[in-house]
Amino acid sequence: SIHIKETNIEKIISELFMFFELEAKRKGIKLLIEKKEVNTVRTFYSDNYKLNSVLTNLIKNGDTLLAIS
């Protein structure tokens, strides 16, 4: 089921960064977060669990592509 609620995207990205940072360092991969200032304040709504899953898969897929290149 889907549970849409106000989401702190910066917090989710920061938590994923901390989770994957050590593994990336071990593999010789430098993880970076590039934060850009946005002038408009918008509320972001999402299913936190599903968003976290999608971002985790993107990071893992990127790591796999770097490992085979």
SS3 breakdown of the chain: % helix, strand, coil, rounded to 5?
55, 10, 35
Residues of the chain above pLDDT 70, percent: 84
Q: State the Cα angle at 28 between 55 and 26, rounded to 5°.
A: 80
Residues of the chain above pLDDT 90, percent: 36
- pLDDT for position 4: 96
pLDDT per residue as tens digits for the range 6-29: 998 888 989 999 999 988 888 888
pTM (two decimals): 0.75
